[in-house]
Amino acid sequence: MDPTVWYATLPSPVGALLLLSDGEALTGLYTEGHRLPPAVGPSWRRDPGPFRAAEARLLAYFDGEARPFDIPLAPRGTDFQRAVWAALREIPFGDRISYGELARRLGRPAASRAVGRANGLNPISILVPCHRVVGSGGALTGYAGGLECKRLLLEHEARRVAEARHGRAVRMSG
């Protein structure tokens, strides 16, 4: 028998978000336009209970709060993928780096394509901020949630950083 997968949906400025949990930690967060969304299975149970902390952090994020995400995450993947996803969590709010730079940070400077593939397979969008990785020239490339969603997230963070410098609150509209 398959283990229970808890799930909930959350409206957001970038569309509905699908949140998944094993009951202990967040295992997935998919945007509405995600190119590889999981299919609801017979062992799935809709329950907002396991997602209260994640929902609170996401609402704060979309409301303009820039603090790091500090909720339990348990993405499933290879050791290399989990290393890439851990490195993504080190990219500060509002920053952007290239796939090549992310590969260098991992000590694998020739592995930018493998890093890009692992980045694209990130099962926890937004909270594991794969949207902060861009092409070498700054181009918005390769976002499983769609380039429009990536653009909105990056613009939201850039606005928040700019407005924080000027002491103004920011709200994300969508």
Q: Which residues are catalytic?
A: 130
CB-CB neighbours of 53 under 10 Å: 13
User: 125, exposed or middle or buried, with CB in 10 Å at 0-12, 13-18, 19+?
Assistant: buried
**What is the DSSP secondary structure assignment for residue 156, as one 8-state letter?**
H
Distance of CA 33 to the CA centre of its chain: 13
| 8 Å CB contact between 88 and 132 | yes
**Per-residue CA distances from 101 to 96, 111, 153 (Å):** 10, 10, 20
**Per-residue CA distances from 89 to 93, 125, 165, 166 (Å):** 9, 11, 23, 26
The string of DSSP letters for 103-145 reads: HHHTT-TT-HHHHHHHHHT-SBTTTS-GGGEE-TTS-----TT
